[in-house]
C-alpha cells in the first residue's frame, strides 16, 4: 500500500509584501511659557527650562548645547583641535647633564629598531621643561599641533636617554603622562601611561645601531602596571636608548 505525505503551506497575501510601512510620528514640543521673561523666549541665567512634549515618538534626541551635547557634533567625525602633551619628571642620582631628550615625528614607515632610530625625529626637548633633581617638574601644556597636518595624521613621541661611562648615570622617572586632542567643546584623551603600558614596553629595547653586537643590556625603561615609567641608573652603560 502506497503512502503519501501531503504538506500544505498557507500564506497570507500581506505576509509576502516587501513594502515596509512606517507611521509618521505624532509629536510636538513647546516651551513652558510660564517660565519665560515677559513672553520673550528669554530665560534668566540659572533658571530652569521646561519643555512640554505631546504626542508619541519612539525615539527623541536632545541637544542641550552643553559640552559633548551640541547639535553640530551629532555625526561622528574626525576633528583636530590642539594636540597637547603633558608629563612630570624627576632626575635622581649622578650629575650627568642632558641625558634625556623628548622627540616627536608624525610618521614612521615601520616599527623596527632601525627605522625608529634612523627616523628624522624632531627634538622638542626645548618645549618640555625637565627636572634637574629629585624635585618633580611638570611640563605644563605643551602644544604639538604644528607637528601634525590634519585629523588623519599620526604622532609618535619618544623619550631618548643617553648615558656615558665613567660616572653614575641619572635615574629618570616619568609620571602624569597625557596626550590629548583639545577641541573647542571637549578634550579627547589620546594617550596615558596606564593605557599604553604595552606600547612603551614594546619599544624599550631599541639600541643605537652603533652598539656592538652582544652588548649586555645594563638599563631599560620599566613601566609596570600602576607605577611610573622609570629608567634606573646603572654604572658603566653607554648606548643611547629610545622608549
Q: How many CA atoms lie within 13 A of 103 on its CB side?
A: 19
Give the global pTM: 0.63
Rounded-to-integer distance, Cα 191 and Cα 177, Å: 8
Domain extents in the chain: 27-62, 82-242
Q: What long-range pairs does 211-215 form, CB within 8 A, spacing at least 24?
A: 211/239, 215/239
Q: Give pLDDT tens digits for 194-215.
A: 888 777 655 544 555 455 555 5
Burial tier of 172 (Cβ tally within 10 Å: 0-12, 13-18, 19+):
buried
CA 242 – CA 82 distance, rounded (Å): 25
Give tens-digit pLDDT for 76-115. 667 888 999 999 999 988 888 888 999 999 888 777 777 7
Q: What is the per-residue pLDDT across 62-78, written as a single tens digit (0 to 9) for each?
A: 887 777 677 777 766 67
Amino acid at each position: 500500500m502506497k503512502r503519501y505525505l501531503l504538506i500544505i503551506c498557507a500564506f497570507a497575501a500581506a505576509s509576502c509584501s516587501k513594502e515596509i510601512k512606517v507611521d509618521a510620528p505624532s509629536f510636538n514640543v513647546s516651551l513652558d511659557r510660564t517660565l519665560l521673561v515677559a513672553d520673550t523666549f528669554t530665560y534668566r541665567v540659572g533658571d530652569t527650562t521646561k519643555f512640554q512634549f505631546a504626542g508619541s515618538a519612539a525615539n527623541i534626541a536632545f541637544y542641550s548645547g552643553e559640552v559633548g551635547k551640541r547639535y553640530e557634533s551629532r555625526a561622528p567625525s574626525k576633528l583636530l583641535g590642539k594636540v597637547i602633551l603633558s608629563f612630570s619628571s624627576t632626575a635622581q642620582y649622578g650629575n650627568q647633564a642632558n641625558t634625556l631628550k623628548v622627540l616627536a615625528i608624525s610618521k614612521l614607515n615601520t616599527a623596527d629598531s632601525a627605522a625608529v632610530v634612523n627616523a628624522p625625529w624632531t627634538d622638542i626637548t626645548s618645549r618640555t621643561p625637565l627636572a634637574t633633581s629629585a624635585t618633580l617638574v611638570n611640563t605644563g601644556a605643551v602644544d604639538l599641533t604644528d607637528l601634525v597636518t590634519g585629523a588623519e595624521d599620526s604622532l609618535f613621541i619618544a623619550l631618548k636617554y643617553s648615558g656615558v661611562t665613567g660616572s653614575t648615570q641619572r635615574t629618570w622617572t616619568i609620571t602624569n603622562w597625557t596626550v590629548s586632542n583639545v577641541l573647542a567643546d571637549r578634550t579627547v584623551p589620546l594617550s596615558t601611561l596606564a593605557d599604553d603600558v604595552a606600547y612603551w614596553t614594546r619599544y624599550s629595547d631599541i639600541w643605537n645601531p652603533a652598539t656592538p653586537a652582544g652588548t649586555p643590556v645594563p638599563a631599560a625603561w620599566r613601566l609596570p602596571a600602576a607605577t611610573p615609567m622609570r629608567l634606573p641608573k646603572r654604572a658603566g652603560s653607554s648606548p643611547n636608548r629610545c622608549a
